[in-house]
Chains A and B, each alone.
Chain A
Amino acid sequence: MKNKTNLSNATKTTIKQNFLGYLYLLPTLVITLIFVVYPLIMSFRMGFYERYNYYTDEGSGFGLATFKFVLTDPNFQKALMNTFLIVVIAVPVSMIIALAIALLLNSGIKASKFFQAIYFLPYVTSVIAIGIVWSWLFHSDFGYINQFLGMFGVDPIQWLNDPKMAIWALIIFNIWSGLAFKIVIFLSGLQNIDPQYYKAAQIDGTPKWKVFTRITLPLLSPTVFFLTITSVIASFKVYNEVFALFGGKPGPANSCMTVVYYIYDMFYGSSQVHKAAAASIILFIIILIITGIQMLLSKKLVHYK
């Protein structure tokens, strides 16, 4: 008799736990199913259609033809090339500058918090608004950048109108806008290093350069790794910067096309929705590969404490 009530109590608890657990999770599940899982499946379906009408949701020809179109589209190749430039130029440059600033901020000066507040400001402010500000700084006739360069005898550069220069304007803006986040993350990485290591080095009289290469850098490698991965992924998603800098166009003669800009353009600009879907699947696969590399390498290479 006693056993029986115990059992039914246990079942009751299980039912209650399940009911309340799902009840509290319900809003998350509903929103995620409608606005993440469903569109994910639908994007895959759209991407594999060869012809597709978005408004009637009718497609025909199931295969890889749309992927082939996107991958051979000069605009998409331009987008990949631009992403590559951002990854190999903007990412390392902003990482090095950010690390240098973080080291200075962490050197024990009194005004560190004050400077940190200034350096972090661009992270919270609208990329669109500040991008429009930059588009005026880059203005070829009266922009401050050309006027500043003019003091050193440099002829006015057509930053925003010359297809060859436009990507450099984007890269400069990208370096600037990426600094804030990297500085804060580097600084928190530096502050997590156990001061004991530095004390030991001080007692041994280790030269400063060696302290940096032998202690700081190895112990900071998880941070460097994390920032590299997030910055590379962000490089594929550059969009707002381009929109703001070039007034809603992907640069002169499409010279600043990016992967997300391509998706947006195919979707909204030219209503080739299945091509936008195919391009977004390619982006998703790239991000999966990068994340996979991150998971593999973070176990092997990175020097944890």
Chain B
Amino acid sequence: MESNTKKVTSVWAKVLIYTALILGAVVMLFPFIFMLLTSLKTYAESISVPPKIFPEVAQFKNYKTAMEMAPFDVYFKNTVISSVGNTILTLFVTIFAAFSFTRYKFYGSNVIFTLLLATMMVPGEMLIIQNYQTVSAFGWIDTFQGLIIPYIANVFYIFLLRQYFMQIPEQLYKAAKIDGCSDWKYLWKIMIPNTISAIVTIAILNFIASWNAFLWPLLITNNDKMRVLTIGLTHFTNESGSQVHLQMAAATIIIIPVAIIYLFLQKYIISGVTRGGLKG
């Protein structure tokens, strides 16, 4: 890192770099700032020309009005249940699969692993056509099972955790065996505590992806009581027409929880993304 600090020599270079980065940051943040400020404006302020950047008096009642027009509390609850439920189940499935591939030598394990990796190339959009039919046949339309179950086996997470599991020295397993420790206990007492940061990363990435999910919930929820936030927001936007200040309040409700998680757990998110991403 010493060489890095030496790279910037002149004060002018620093001024230029900071100016460019601040300009860039303004462009990146602007939609978020616009959203927050507009959510606190009156309708007249939100559509004024020339624009009024700041509201005269912060209209917190916009949030209340939006929630009276559409059941955002229900959407919020549904989103929390499906994201948390999905994340917990995904963690179990991922941990078991990664454990299976690292701990046991079973017939066909290499072939199965390769085939699983190959499924990552299949676009998810291709699968929804039949999955919709399958989920209907199970009677899972408008249910949490329908929202959660099809997405609890994520090959990328299994691949990622397997790599962490493989780094745990074999001697630990042998020592545990001598002490009379079962495989099940070994998984919970040694493997998981030693890879906890990778598991936390997977949990956060999965939670965020699940929170923001759109196409699948759009297909399988018809009942307003089962809608999640992303779907509720698009319906609300269509129904509320030009009420931009209310729509921005609703958009803020979706974005704030994830933004808070991001603020505190950024380190895990970025480390996970640089290892292969959340969406790929």
Query: Is B122 interfacial (CB 8 A cutoff)?
Result: yes
- A284 & B122 in contact (Cβ 8 Å cutoff): yes
- B24 & A119 in contact (Cβ 8 Å cutoff): yes
Chain A residues within 8 Å of B96, by CB = 24-28
Partner of B214, one of A38, A40, A243: A243
Does more than half of chain B's interface fall in helix, strand or loop, or is it mixed?
helix
Contact size class for A? 35 or more
- A137 & B31 in contact (Cβ 8 Å cutoff): yes
Minimum distance in angstroms from B123 CB to a CB of chain A: 6
Chain A residues within 8 Å of B125, by CB = 237, 239, 260, 263-264, 280, 283
Residues of B in contact (CB 8 Å), total 97
Partner of A39, one of B134, B266, B280: B134
Chain A residues within 8 Å of B261, by CB = 124
Of the listed residues A25, A38, A117, A291, the one surrounded by the most CB atoms of chain B closer than 10 A to its CB is: A25
- B116 & A32 in contact (Cβ 8 Å cutoff): yes
Chain A residues within 8 Å of B34, by CB = 133, 136-137, 144
Chain B residues within 8 Å of A109, by CB = 8, 14, 17-18, 21
Query: Is A11 interfacial (CB 8 A cutoff)?
Result: no
- Interface segment, B54-62, B101-109, B171-179? B101-109
- A28 & B153 in contact (Cβ 8 Å cutoff): yes
Minimum distance in angstroms from A52 CB to a CB of chain B: 11
- How many residue pairs link A and B with beta carbons under 8 A? The number is 283
- A198 & B105 in contact (Cβ 8 Å cutoff): no
Chain A residues within 8 Å of B280, by CB = 230, 233-234
| Cβ < 8 Å to A, chain B residues 66-125 | 92-93, 96-97, 99-101, 103-107, 109, 112, 116, 119, 121-123, 125
Chain B residues within 8 Å of A28, by CB = 93, 96-97, 116, 153, 158
- B104 & A20 in contact (Cβ 8 Å cutoff): yes
- B214 & A118 in contact (Cβ 8 Å cutoff): no
Minimum distance in angstroms from B178 CB to a CB of chain A: 17
Q: 6 tightest CB-CB pairs across the interface, nearest first?
A: A21-B106, A21-B104, A39-B130, A24-B100, A108-B4, A31-B153
A37 to B251, CA, bound (A): 36
| Cβ < 8 Å to A, chain B residues 229-280 | 229-230, 233-234, 237-238, 244, 247-248, 251, 254-255, 258-259, 261-263, 266, 269-270, 273-274, 277-280
